[in-house]
Amino acid sequence: MIRTPLAVALLGFALAACSPQDPQQATSSALAESVLLPAYSSWNQANQQLASSAQALCNGSQDLSGARQTLLTTIGSWATLQPLLVGPLAEGNRAWQVQFWPDKKNLVQRQVETLLKNKPQLGQADLDKASVVVQGLTAYEYVLFDAAIDLNQAPQKNRYCPLLIAIGEHQSKLSGEILAQWQAEDGMAAQLKQFPNNRYAEAPEAVGELLRAQVSAIDGLKKKLGTALGRQSKGQPQPYQAEFWRSNASLVSLAASLASAERVWLGSNNDGIKALLGSDQAELSQRLDAQYSATRQQLAAIQRPLGELLGEEAGRQQLNAFYDSLDQLHRLQESELAKTLGIQLGFNAHDGD
């Protein structure tokens, strides 16, 4: 059969369309669509609910218990983003606007009280121009959970409500802007799917950044737990250095981050980082699966708040065992997995802390 040049060209396009997608591009695209984008969308929804909750608490249509639960939901959605910090939220110090940690000198309390003393009629513009210390969830948690503040008392409620409302609006606006940058036609999600683009020349660069964010987050979990355990202070526990210690949400936050890191590994349909390992690397894949499972089960077995466990020897032993499991998971991914995939991780946000 004689083929015309046009027929040959059309056949070439058809074969290209049917050819299997590059594995690295497939992984990056799948994670963007089914893991990262849904997490950023959920975070934005949680922040919208937080803003509504602040208004409801302050106008008397929601009680303190309901407001606290809304904050805990928001904390969980934020923790889920920790292994997914690539793109807009990882740039321009935006993450500091969401959470200030570690708070080694109780800056949150001091700066909140100073701000309200100087701005008793606090407005949105006042907060937006203020320090990141008072703009995020840590300051919101201080107002809702600190033992010295009773929002059931009208004078206290009148004092702190403008701040709660302003923080809720600030977080809602921030997450809305970030989500829009993910969903834009040439936004972050698109840049993780089609290459080359303004951010990545090729798919392996994107996969490398996704793995770096995930590994850095696991290292961050070790730092958060290790700081509270006193691993950087000669074994002396530091319960007030734990994240979200006032609301006893430290371990809940950690669990949400760990689950999110595992989703990057597995993907939503066996299409995560794990899919890049070949059959000749099955042993490493199995060890990582087993380590995720063991670490997750160890955390699930911890049934009491972090602060209580830090106060007794048996509790600290349980937490240290969990830390060691996290450390094994971190090392497996940082060294063996990255090396196998040919990814240079370099320095991360927690180096030198």
* Side-chain half-sphere exposure of 339, counting CA atoms within 13 A: 6
pLDDT at 220 over 90: yes
pLDDT at 333 over 80: yes
User: What would the DSSP string read from start to end of 252-263?
Assistant: HHHHHHHHHHHH
| pLDDT tens track for 236-246 | 999 999 999 99
pTM above 0.85? yes
Which runs of consecutive H residues, i.e. helices, occur in the chain?
5-18, 23-31, 37-59, 64-80, 94-98, 107-118, 124-128, 137-145, 154-183, 188-191, 203-229, 250-266, 282-300, 306-310, 313-331, 338-341
Q: Say if residues 327 and 224 touch (Cβ distance below 8 Å).
A: no
Q: What's the pLDDT at 346?
A: 75
pLDDT at 152 over 60: yes
Q: What's the pLDDT at 280?
A: 96
| pLDDT tens track for 272-300 | 999 999 999 999 999 999 999 999 999 99
Mean pLDDT over 262-266 rounds to 98
pLDDT at 5 over 80: no
pLDDT at 6 over 80: no
Confidence of residue 353 (pLDDT cuts 50, 70, 90): very low
Q: What's the pLDDT at 347?
A: 54
Please tell me which residue, 11 or 199, carries the higher pLDDT value.
199
CA distance 92 to 105: 24
pLDDT at 230 over 60: yes
Mean pLDDT over 175-182 rounds to 98
CA distance 52 to 46: 10
Q: What's the pLDDT at 219?
A: 97
CA distance 267 to 35: 7
pLDDT at 2 over 80: no
Query: CA dist 156 to 9, 70, 111, 199, Å?
Result: 74, 20, 17, 48
Q: What's the pLDDT at 44?
A: 98
Helix axes 250-266, 282-300, angle to 10 degrees: 160
Summary mean pLDDT of the chain: 93
Q: What's the pLDDT at 235?
A: 80
Q: What's the pLDDT at 134?
A: 98
Query: CA dist 238 to 6, 311, 313, Å?
Result: 73, 10, 14
CA distance 310 to 40: 33
Quick one: which of 338, 289, 266 has its CA closest to 30? 266
CA distance 192 to 179: 15
Structure tokens at 64: 């303190």
Candidate from 16-25, 179-188, 189-198, 258-267 with smallest mean pLDDT: 16-25
pLDDT at 164 over 50: yes
| Domain spanning 23-341: CATH 1.20.1420.20 | yes
CA distance 204 to 342: 9
Q: What's the pLDDT at 13?
A: 46
CA distance 288 to 80: 20
| pLDDT tens track for 77-88 | 999 999 999 999
Domain segments of the chain: what residues?
23-341
Asked whether the CA dihedral 188, 192, 196, 200 is positive or negative, the reply is positive
Residue 125's φ and ψ, nearest 5 degrees, are -60, -35
Confidence of residue 4 (pLDDT cuts 50, 70, 90): low
* Side-chain half-sphere exposure of 91, counting CA atoms within 13 A: 7
